[in-house]
Amino acid sequence: MAKSLRWAALGLGAVLAVAGCGTSGAPKVEQDAKAPLELWTRTTPGGDGEKGMKKLAAAFEAKTGQQIEVTAIFDDFETKLSQRAAQKDLPDIVMNDSSQLGTMVSQGIAREVDLSKIEGSDQLIESALTVAKAGDGKTYGVPYSAQASALLIRKDWRAKTGLPVPKTWDELTALAKAFTTQDPDGNGKNDTFGLAVPGSTKRGYASWYFSNFLWGAGGDFIAKQADGKYKPAMSTPESVAATKWFRDLACTSKVVQPGAATMDTPPTNETFEAGKTGLYVVGPYLMPRFDKSLGKDKYEVVPVPAGAKDATVLAEGGSAYLMAGSANEAGQNSWASYVISPEAQKLGMEGEKAFNVQLPVNKTVDVTSVRKDPRWKVYADVYRDSGRYAPSIPNWTPIRQATADTVNALIADCGLDVPAELTKLDGKLGEMLGQQGIAAS
Amino acid sequence: MSLKEAAPPVPPPAAPPSGARRRGSGARSGARKRSGKWWIPWLFLAPALILFVYFKFIPMAQAVSMSVQEVRPYLGNTWVGTANYVEILSSEGFRSATWNTILLAIGQTFGSMALGFGLALLVEGQTRKLTFIRSAAFLPVVVPIAVVAELWRIMYHPTSDGLLNQVIGLIGLGPSGFINDPDTSLASIAVTGIWRGAPYDMMIFLAGLAGIDRGLYEAATVDGASTKQRILHVTLPGLRPVFAILFVLAAVRGFRSFTEVFLLTNGGPNGSTEVVMTLIYKLGLEQNRLGVGSAGAVLLFVATLILTVCVQLLRKRRAV
């Protein structure tokens, strides 16, 4: 009885599934300029990010009379978006990481943006606008916030060791060593470490963190060729040198916190705020949290020291994606125009916690006009001078995942041979680039 | 996607009064004799069945159909035939994940069964105190797995002041990296799984032990059997059906290990704990390659199915 039923259900499901996949292509939707907009933002529901976005939305409603409803989702954001895509009923606007562009475009869920219809798009910082362009040269998003990585240092610890703010990688290593061996918290135990590293492979964290050092050393994950295609670049001498240096922090000088290989960002943040680690390379979004848990006076924010080449660090940001199949494209455009306007950029930066704009993407907005805290100036300068985004390729996630796997392996298993592992990684990257159709011959 | 959950818990047909052993004939004769409509049992089952169909069987069928397509939810899927299977079967990552899954399943299955059996022997009996101890021993099963993982992460702290490292330091070992060392990570996860699974097995063993005729023990004692001999010749044979059930349950559970791995190591370090489930998660939900992920899920389902059917066949052959 149970068996025959199982088969019946299987058959029924198969029929449904086959029926479901018959329809395809983006439907054309009748436009209605009054239709309320549905906006999804990737942030914790009930958290500060949601409050900040609601603040922006309210100001937008007051200004334009256009209704907009904000939904905050954090866990499995992309999965939930896929489900809505399968129902052919996407939210009108998605505020998400700029690095999601490739994925959204290859799924066909973000529509092309006509910049001439976005007021003020000529005031956008060029590098921020570049990430909104896909491999085909078309624009698929409107950046509204930017950030870059800087180095947080425990000020009181550094004062105790008497070392200067590091300007080179050697000085950084020396400081990390001092933090590890000289008992900077003075509790008589050898329980502090230098650099905090989220080295887990979850969401590709290991790779995400390492990019701050890889690029500074002149290395790269994948290198763009003259014809616009890409070649794997993790086994170049520069990349190998950067990887060796990073790996030595964990394996030779042992200044990375123990357990880094299985830590994603939450436990790593905790090591910094609990006084177990004294150096951390992160974006500005953690400052409110550390100000509260650790104290504003306990740490300082400085640019990441330059590597062999320069001080390039990872730049990231948020973009407004105008989703396909919306009944109110005019409304989408007016929201995009609004979030990049000087007015909204300033409003977005206001507040101690509930801010949504980390650094302005509008050239005419000066971060110091809103934020008097000099630490923000450090972040703004780093972003302008040394920020670099992950490349816009059809799907960056597998590349980040594969590099994270290797970086994670190297810091977890000190017996591995660095050049051999990186050569193996390059083989994998080459395959992935081939799958995405962007491999240089 | 396990068979254990996939099969709706249809109650076994009531034993016919005649004592006929065969299931089919028993059910038929029962239906003839019992008054009432044939659809009444189905009516009672309906709520569960509808839920099962909607939340289990349809998604299962969809996974099968997605495994032969390139899934693009908005643009529409395209048929790719066996390409997804070819890709996942030929990838080194899937092979090592399969191997890790098998190792973890074996380790957790036999570890939990051994520990559970030991615990069951210790807490078997009638007194009130034992009820309390049994409940206490059962606690790991009811603690949410996320809490378990976080607890063990703290216990596995890789420096010498970590909890478990202090313990093994007492006998002059360590400090071990536990989940942070590729050599010990899989074993550490297996230990967490055993810790959590053993009390569950213990309860089923206890139920089995209660079913063993006390007279056999007395007879064995009269014959001069030692404790070891009693366990070997009375308890273990008496528990044979329990072992078969537990083996299937534990093996299915082992094959599907996800949460503890995801939370403790996410497959790292160096892929040493990557199991099929975490790989499927990464492929499907992180990299958005749902087709390839579904192919992996279908393969896992088939493996579980084969295992379960084999155990059932073995059991039947023994029973006859």
pLDDT for B218-255, tens place per residue?
888 888 888 888 888 888 888 888 888 888 888 888 88
Instruction: Among A78, A201, A203, A263, pick the best mutation site for testing chain B contact (most B Cβ within 10 A).
Output: A201
Q: What is the mean pLDDT of residues A378-405?
A: 90
Greater pLDDT, B312 or A364: A364
Give the residue with greater pLDDT, B17 vs B293: B293
3-state secondary structure string across B12-30: CCCCCCCCCCCHHHHHHHH
B49 touches A at CB < 8 Å:
yes
- For residue A250, the chain B residues in CB contact (below 8 A) are none
Answer for the pair B65, B71: CB distance below 8 angstroms, yes or no: no
Q: Is A95 helix (H, G, I), strand (E, B) or coil?
A: strand
pLDDT of residue A38: 95
Q: Please report the ipTM that was assigned to this predicted complex.
A: 0.73
pLDDT of residue B319: 63
- Would you say residue A203 has pLDDT above 80? yes
- Of the pLDDT bands very low, low, confident and very high (cuts 50, 70, 90), residue A7 is low
Tell whether the model's pLDDT for residue B41 goes beyond 50: yes
B76 inside 8 A of chain A by CB = yes
Residue A133 to chain B, least CA–CA distance (Å):
20
The reported pLDDT for the residue numbered A16 is 45
Q: Do B53 and A24 touch (CB under 8 A)?
A: no
Residues of chain B found within 8 Å of residue A397, distances taken between Cβ atoms: 286-288
- What percentage of chain A reaches a pLDDT higher than 90? 63
- CA–CA separation, B27 and A309 (whole Å): 80
**Counting Cβ atoms within 10 Å, is residue A61 exposed (0-12), middle (13-18) or buried (19+)?**
middle
Output the pLDDT for position A232.
95
Under a CB-based contact definition with an 8 Å cutoff, are residues B80 and B70 in contact? yes
Yes or no, beta carbons of B74 and A109 under 8 Å apart: yes
Distance CA(B296)–CA(A295), nearest Å, equals 48
State the residue for tokens 């509204």: A144
pLDDT recorded at residue B26 = 46
In whole angstroms, what is the distance from residue B13 CA to residue B200 CA? 26
* Residues B7-25 pLDDT 10s: 444 444 444 444 444 444 4
pTM: predicted TM-score of the whole model, two decimal places: 0.79
CA distance A231 to A433: 8
Q: Would you tell me how many other CB atoms lie within 10 Å of the CB of residue B80?
A: 18
- CA gap A2, B93 in Å, rounded: 36
Query: How confident is the model at residue A159, as a pLDDT?
Result: 93
Instruction: Report pLDDT for A440.
Output: 87
CA distance to partner chain B, nearest, from residue A55 (Å): 30
Q: What is the DSSP letter of B318?
A: H
- Alpha-helical (H) ranges within A148-220 are 155-161, 169-181, 205-214
Structure tokens at A115: 């910049």
The alpha-carbon gap from B297 to the nearest alpha carbon of chain A, in Å, equals 16
Q: What three-state secondary structure class fits B165?
A: helix
Which residues of chain B make contact with A267, given a CB cutoff of 8 A? 153
Q: What percent of chain B has pLDDT over 70?
A: 87
Is residue B169 within 8 A of residue B178, CB to CB? The reply is no
Interchain CB distance below 8 Å, B74 and A324: yes
Determine the pLDDT at residue B286.
79
Give A318's strand partners: A97, A145
CA proximity to A47, closest of A258, A281, A354, A395:
A354
Contact at CB, B72 and A103, closer than 8 angstroms: no
Is the pLDDT assigned to residue B4 strictly greater than 50? no
Q: Locate the chain B residue with the closest alpha carbon to A205.
A: B266
CB contact under 8 A, A1 and B72: no
Q: Does B38 touch chain A (CB under 8 A)?
A: no
Find where tokens 């705020």 sit: A273
CB contact under 8 A, A107 and B72: yes
A and B: number of Cβ contacts within 8 A: 151
pLDDT tens digits for range B182-224: 888 999 999 999 998 899 899 899 888 888 888 888 888 888 8
Residue A180 has pLDDT above 60, yes or no: yes
Chain B: residue nearest A400 by CA?
B287
pLDDT band for position B86 (cuts 50, 70, 90): very high
Least confident of A388-397, B109-118, B297-306: A388-397
Dihedral angle of Cα B232, B234, B240, B245, to the nearest 10 degrees = -100
